Amino acid sequence: MPHRDRPHRDRPHRPRDRPPDSHRPEPGPVPDPAARLAALTRRLDEACRRAGRPLGSVTLVAVSKYRSRDAVAAALDAGQRDFAESRVQEARAKWPQLRARHPGVRLHLVGPLQTNKATAAVTGFDTLHSVDRPSLAAALAAAMARTGRRPDCFVQVNTGDEPQKSGVPLDGADAFLKECRDVHGLPVVGLMCLPPAGRDPRPHFRLLRSLAAAHGLAGLSMGMSDDFEAAVAEGATVIRVGRALFGPRPRRAGGPPGTR
Ligand SMILES: *Cc1c(COP(=O)(O)O)cnc(C)c1O
């Protein structure tokens, strides 16, 4: 294929790590999640090996936003247990029945979170990846106190200082982390980032890692379908993968909020 022979630098950075089959639309409504999960796990293991990290040191979170219940059920049947949704309402509609059938499921919330959804987020999810501002931290702390539920929290950092993107600005990250832990007592386990699209994500991953180390945080939620191997090389402990597992993202009016 001429595509393959193209010199490396002619290609944009991101698509390089994309599995070859994600360029094409899926023939059926549900791609074969068991085969995709096996292939993804092989790539993840290989990335760990290359990075000199133990296999199993990275949690694969399957991002199931906008996916049908059938697609999710197939991934569950294939053994996947960590899933992420980007909207509280969608998770509420989709997950109670699935959870009842698969008690080991851990549900993650990625994407922007409104303060008025704090209680639903705290009761419906096991891990929150987008804690990014004082009003939200306060609302989550109150919701945790009220419900007794304490999901793990990742503080999202806007490493590219992109005005349209969620995440605490870089120059406010130290103060915000201190506030989350010392004022609100949130169970902060790590940091999360979404690097700017179309650029080398590695400097952003490195920045996130050094910021986490400076705060004594072990968790690093970074890496998606196109860049998770680079993220693993830079120390990711959680990768959030949608398209590489479920196929091309379904079209939605307005596009997914808070993502590229
Ligand atoms: C949608 C989404 C992902 C998954 O992206 P893919 O490119 O489909 O792997 C990861 N993280 C966040 C925050 C997302 O919104």
Which pLDDT tens digit goes with each residue over 125-141?
999 999 999 999 999 99
51 has pLDDT over 70? yes
Q: Which of the four pLDDT bands, split at 50, 70 and 90, describes residue 13?
A: very low
Every domain of the chain and the residues it spans: 31-246
Helix axes 33-50, 69-77, angle to 10 degrees: 60
Q: Whole-prediction pTM value?
A: 0.86
* Rounded Cα gap, residues 78 and 62, in angstroms: 12
243 lines ligand 1 (CB under 6 A): yes
Query: To test ligand 1's pocket by mutation, which of 240, 249, 260 has the most ligand atoms within 8 angstroms of CB?
Result: 240
Please choose, from the candidates 146, 98, 150, the residue with its C-alpha nearest in 3D space to the C-alpha of residue 128.
Answer: 150
110 lines ligand 1 (CB under 6 A): yes
Distance from CA of residue 163 to its chain's centroid? 20
What is the average pLDDT across 59-73? 95
* H or E element, residue 29: none
Contact residues for 254 (Cβ-Cβ < 8 A; gap 6+): none
State which ligand 1 atom lies nearest to the alpha carbon of 194. Answer: 13
Residue 134 dihedral angles phi and psi, to the nearest 5°: -60, -40
Instruction: Tell me which CATH code domain 31-246 carries.
Output: 3.20.20.10
